[in-house]
C-alpha cells in the first residue's frame, strides 16, 4: 500500500519547501536572493535531524526547492548558486523543463535491488532446510548462523518459503516495486535511475521512496505570479479533493479557501467529468463492437500513455474523449475569455498532460493538493474562520465519483443505460499499471471483446495519486459524502450538455 496517508518527516519537509516557495512568490518583487536563506530556515541549527549531516540535509532541501520552482537539478560536480537560472523560470507562462520526475542522487539510499538476505533472526537451526532446498548451494553455515553467497544466489526464493522463523527476506527497492513501468534501474554507483523513455510520470516512485529522494517539478511560483497579475486565475478542483485538507476545510468552504489564495473563483472538474462520461458513452455505442473490439477510458494520462505505447495495435481502442481536466479548462476559458486555469489535483501525470502542445492553451498550471497545502501555509489561511459558500452545484454524483477506482466505468455505464437501455454493458477495471497491463493483455488476446475497460495508474484510483495527503480508504469515504450532496445523480443530467460539441472542436 505504500506510505500514503501516513504522516512522515518527508511530508513535513515537502510542505515546508512548498510553503517557502509560495511565500517567495507572493512577496516577489524582482529579487530572488532569499532563495539562499530558505534552506537555513527549513533546516536550522548545526545538528542534523534526519541524515548524517546538516550540510547534506540542506543540500537536499536546495534541490527540492529548485524542483518546486520548476528548475532542473544542479550538477553536483560544479559550483552553482541555488538560484541559478531562476530568473527565466519565474514567468507565469514558463513550463517546467522536462524531466518531470527527478531523483536527487545524494538523497538516494542505494537500496538493495532484489536481494535475498538472511536476517539476524536466523536461529542457526539443526535442520537448515534453507540449505537443503537451495538449488545453487549458495547457503553456508558460519558462526552459528546461515549466510547467502550472493555471487551464487539466483533469487528463486525457495529458502524463504521453508524458513520456519521467517528469517529470510527479499529486499527490493521501494521505488522500483512501486513502478508499474519497470522504469527504475541502478546507475554506476547503485543509486536509483529513471529511464525517462519508459516513465509515464504516474509518480508512484515519488510517493513510495522512504528516503524522499524522488520529487517532481512544480509550478507553485509561476501560478502565484499569475494570481498576482491582472489576469483572473480560476482553480479547477479535481473530484479527489474531497477531504484532502482535513475536516476543517469542508466542501462548503472550498470556494472561500481558494479565494483566500488569490484565485478568482473555483470550478469543479466533476463538471468536465460529466461531459467526458457522455462523450465516452456516445463513442462506446458507435464504435464497440462495430469498429473496435473494446474501449478503454481516457481520463488517466499515465494509463492511456502506457496502453498506447505498449499495445500500439490497440491504441485506437483507448477513448479519444477529452479528459475532465481539459473539458473543464475549455469550459472556463469559453465562459471567461482571457483568464488562466489552474488544475488542482492529486496527480503528477496531469502535469505532463497539461504540458502537451494540444492541451497547453486549455490548462495553464497543474498543482497537487500537497503543493496547495504549502500555499495555504504561506498565506496562513485559517480554515475554521472561512465563510461557507455554495460551490455552484452543477456536477452529478457520478462525475464526482470519477476519482475512485471503478467510478469512471460506472458513470459511463449509467449513461449507457439511459442511451441504450436494452444493451448489456460488460465492464472490467484495474488499478495500478501492473494490473492495467494484465487487463490489456487479456483484451489483446480477445478475452474482453465488447468490454468497457477502466484503467487507473494509482491504487484506489485518483485518490491514491502522488499528490494526495489522506489515507486511501478515508479519501474514498469523503468522496462518497460529496457525491451524496449532489442534486443530480447521473452525467446525462448535466446542464452543460449543449456546449459539449463546441468544446470538442
pLDDT average per 10 residues of sequence, the chain (505 residues): 78 96 96 95 94 95 96 94 89 83 97 94 96 97 95 97 97 96 96 97 96 97 96 98 95 96 97 96 95 96 96 96 96 96 97 91 96 97 94 85 96 96 95 98 97 97 95 95 94 88 81
Residue with cell 490489456: 440
Cβ neighbourhood burial of 166 (10 Å; 0-12, 13-18, 19+): exposed
Between CA 140 and CA 130 the distance in angstroms is 9
Q: What is residue 88's predicted lDDT score, i.e. its pLDDT?
A: 82
User: What is the Cα Rg of the chain in Å?
Assistant: 25
Q: What is residue 89's predicted lDDT score, i.e. its pLDDT?
A: 80
Between CA 190 and CA 403 the distance in angstroms is 37
Cβ neighbourhood burial of 169 (10 Å; 0-12, 13-18, 19+): middle
Q: What is residue 449's predicted lDDT score, i.e. its pLDDT?
A: 97
Residue 440's H or E segment, with its range, is helix 433-444
Q: What is residue 39's predicted lDDT score, i.e. its pLDDT?
A: 96
Q: What is residue 207's predicted lDDT score, i.e. its pLDDT?
A: 95
- Strand segments, DSSP code E, in 78-128 are 101-103, 115-118
Q: What is residue 6's predicted lDDT score, i.e. its pLDDT?
A: 83
SS3 content of the chain, % helix, strand, coil (to 5): 45, 15, 45
Q: What is residue 435's predicted lDDT score, i.e. its pLDDT?
A: 98
Amino acid at each position: 500500500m505504500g506510505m500514503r496517508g501516513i504522516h512522515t518527516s518527508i511530508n513535513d519537509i515537502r510542505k515546508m519547501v512548498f510553503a517557502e516557495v509560495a511565500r517567495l512568490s507572493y512577496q516577489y518583487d524582482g529579487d530572488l536572493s532569499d532563495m539562499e536563506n530558505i534552506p537555513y530556515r527549513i533546516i536550522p541549527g548545526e545538528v542534523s535531524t534526519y541524515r548524517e549531516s546538516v550540510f547534506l540535509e540542506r543540500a537536499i532541501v536546495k534541490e527540492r526547492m529548485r524542483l518546486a520552482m520548476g528548475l532542473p537539478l544542479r550538477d553536483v560536480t560544479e559550483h552553482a548558486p541555488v538560484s541559478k537560472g531562476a530568473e527565466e523560470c519565474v514567468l507565469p507562462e514558463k513550463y517546467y523543463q522536462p524531466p518531470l520526475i527527478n531523483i536527487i542522487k545524494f538523497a538516494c539510499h542505494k537500496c538493495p535491488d532484489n536481494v535475498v538476505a538472511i536476517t539476524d533472526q536466523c536461529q542457526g537451526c539443526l535442520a537448515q532446510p534453507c540449505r537443503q532446498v537451495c538449488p545453487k548451494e549458495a547457503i553456508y553455515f558460519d558462526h552459528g548462523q546461515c549466510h547467502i553467497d550472493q555471487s551464487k544466489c539466483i533469487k528463486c526464493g525457495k529458502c524463504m518459503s521453508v524458513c520456519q522463523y521467517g528469517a529470510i527476506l527479499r529486499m527490493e527497492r521501494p521505488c522500483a516495486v512501486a513502478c508499474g513501468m519497470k522504469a527504475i534501474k541502478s546507475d554506476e554507483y547503485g543509486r536509483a535511475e529513471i529511464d525517462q523513455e519508459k516513465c509515464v510520470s504516474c509518480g508512484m516512485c515519488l510517493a513510495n521512496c522512504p528516503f524522499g529522494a524522488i520529487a517532481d517539478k512544480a509550478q507553485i511560483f509561476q501560478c502565484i505570479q499569475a494570481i498576482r497579475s491582472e489576469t483572473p486565475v480560476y482553480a479547477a478542483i479535481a473530484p479527489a479533493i474531497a477531504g484532502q485538507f482535513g475536516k476543517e476545510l469542508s466542501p462548503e468552504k472550498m470556494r472561500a479557501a481558494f479565494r483566500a489564495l488569490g484565485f478568482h473563483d473555483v470550478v469543479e472538474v466533476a463538471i468536465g467529468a460529466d461531459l467526458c462520461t457522455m462523450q465516452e458513452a456516445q463513442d462506446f455505442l458507435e464504435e464497440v463492437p462495430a469498429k473496435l473490439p473494446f474501449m478503454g477510458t481516457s481520463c488517466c494520462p499515465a494509463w492511456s500513455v502506457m496502453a498506447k505505447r505498449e499495445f500500439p495495435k490497440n491504441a485506437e481502442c483507448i477513448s479519444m474523449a477529452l479528459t475532465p481536466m481539459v473539458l473543464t479548462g475549455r469550459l472556463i476559458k469559453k465562459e471567461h475569455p482571457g483568464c488562466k486555469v489552474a488544475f488542482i489535483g492529486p496527480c503528477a501525470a496531469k502535469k505532463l498532460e497539461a504540458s502537451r502542445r494540444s492541451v497547453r492553451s486549455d490548462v495553464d498550471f497543474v498543482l497537487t493538493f500537497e503543493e496547495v497545502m504549502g500555499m495555504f501555509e504561506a498565506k496562513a489561511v485559517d480554515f475554521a474562520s472561512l465563510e461557507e459558500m455554495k460551490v455552484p452545484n452543477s456536477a452529478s454524483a457520478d462525475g464526482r465519483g470519477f476519482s475512485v477506482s471503478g467510478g469512471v466505468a460506472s458513470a459511463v455505464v449509467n449513461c449507457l443505460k439511459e442511451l441504450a437501455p436494452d444493451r448489456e454493458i460488460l465492464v472490467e477495471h484495474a488499478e495500478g499499471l501492473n494490473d492495467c497491463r494484465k487487463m490489456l493483455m487479456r483484451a489483446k488476446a480477445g478475452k474482453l471483446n465488447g468490454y468497457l475497460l477502466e484503467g487507473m495508474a494509482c491504487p484506489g484510483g485518483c485518490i491514491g495519486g502522488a499528490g494526495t495527503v489522506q489515507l486511501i480508504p478515508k479519501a474514498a469515504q469523503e468522496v462518497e459524502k460529496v457525491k451524496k450532496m449532489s442534486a443530480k445523480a447521473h452525467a446525462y443530467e448535466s446542464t452543460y450538455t449543449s456546449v459539449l460539441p463546441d468544446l470538442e472542436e
